[in-house]
């Protein structure tokens, strides 16, 4: 088997526009697992959310979460982590506040926000009680930063004004100890230094003794580019950003046309 591991982004890639994994994709993943391939979720989401989908799919494989800031085994035990320097958390928050840009951030299992935005909270509150993400709305940042053993793995900033977002991104990059990315047109993501899906995938492959040319990576947006470049076969979704398509080795169909399943069928099952 040429390809031993398939790293798959979730939103816009594995999940269709209804936020579901199609039956065809589920069946294809089962077949690939039966051949001995690792099927690895590689997502910007908080770890608990990724674990929920992994368990529903019965993957029993490692997970890359928060854009590579954290890797967990199939039981949710953390095997690698690279959080943001806690000394930078307040500085990052102040930058967002100075520009009046909405932000939230994650640890392993919890979502922290300074205001309630029902649409966003609904997204993180879906699922049963075992899978639902803990949400903490805080008034004073000191409530959070004073917590013992706090690990902040990712910030997400959302604004429809792209110029405001770009200015924030420039200032975040100026902090030098931050990596930035984007997973949608109206957001910016910030992680710790040297954190990306590509670096997370590199770390995991090293642990599993799998070479880059034995890896397929599938994604749709900027935060997927590093793993698409790392993999022997980097795949862009048909619904993906044009800049990602230009740098991918292969373009599959959209997330509503079982694009992931078609790649697995073509390159793993055939």
DSSP strands (E only) in the chain: 5-8, 38-42, 63-65, 70-72, 78-81, 102-106, 110-113, 134-137, 154-158, 178-181, 187-192, 215-219, 233-236, 250-251
Q: Class assignment of domain 5-81+196-269? A: alpha beta
Q: Given pLDDT bands bounded at 50, 70 and 90, which one contains residue 132? A: low
Decide which of 32 and 117 is more confident: 32
Mean pLDDT across the stretch 8-15? 97
The pLDDT assigned to 219 comes to 98
Whole-model pTM: value is 0.92
Using the predicted structure, report yes or no on whether residue 121 has a pLDDT greater than 70: no
Residue 93 is classified by DSSP as H
User: What are the residue boundaries of the structural domains of the chain, listed by start?
Assistant: 5-81+196-269, 86-192
The pLDDT assigned to 140 comes to 87
pLDDT more than 90, % of the chain: 79
Q: Given pLDDT bands bounded at 50, 70 and 90, which one contains residue 115? A: confident
Using the predicted structure, report yes or no on whether residue 123 has a pLDDT greater than 70: no
Distances 67 to 6, 62, 192, 247 between C-alpha atoms, Å? 16, 14, 10, 19
Contacts of 182 (CB under 8 A, 6+ apart): 188, 189, 221, 222, 223
Q: Tens of pLDDT along 143-154? A: 888 888 889 999
3-state secondary structure of 165: helix
Q: Given pLDDT bands bounded at 50, 70 and 90, which one contains residue 114? A: confident
Query: Under CATH, which number does the domain 86-192 receive?
Result: 3.30.1240.10
């Amino acid at each position: 088997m040429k390809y031993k591991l398939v790293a798959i982004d979730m939103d816009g890639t594995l999940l269709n526009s209804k936020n579901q994994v199609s039956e065809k994709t589920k069946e294809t993943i089962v077949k690939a697992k039966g051949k001995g391939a690792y099927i690895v979720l590689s997502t910007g989401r908080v770890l608990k959310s990724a674990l929920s989908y992994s368990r529903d799919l019965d993957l029993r494989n490692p997970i890359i979460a928060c854009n590579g800031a954290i890797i967990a085994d199939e039981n949710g035990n953390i095997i690698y982590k690279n959080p943001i320097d806690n000394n930078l958390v307040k500085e990052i928050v102040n930058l967002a506040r100075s520009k009046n840009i909405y932000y939230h951030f994650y640890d392993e299992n919890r979502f922290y926000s300074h205001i309630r935005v029902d649409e966003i909270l609904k997204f993180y509150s879906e699922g049963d009680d075992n899978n639902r993400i803990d949400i903490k709305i805080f008034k004073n940042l000191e409530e959070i930063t004073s917590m013992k053993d706090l690990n902040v793995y990712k910030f997400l900033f959302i604004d429809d004004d792209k110029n405001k977002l770009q200015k924030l991104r420039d200032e975040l990059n100026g902090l030098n100890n931050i990596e930035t990315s984007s997973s949608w047109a109206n957001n910016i993501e910030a992680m710790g230094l040297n954190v990306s899906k590509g670096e997370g995938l590199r770390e995991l492959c090293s642990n599993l003794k799998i070479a880059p040319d034995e890896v397929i990576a599938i994604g749709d947006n900027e935060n997927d580019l590093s793993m698409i470049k790392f993999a022997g076969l980097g795949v862009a979704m048909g619904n993906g950003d044009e800049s990602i398509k230009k740098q991918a080795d292969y373009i599959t169909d959209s997330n509503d046309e079982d694009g992931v399943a078609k790649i697995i069928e073509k390159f793993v099952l055939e």
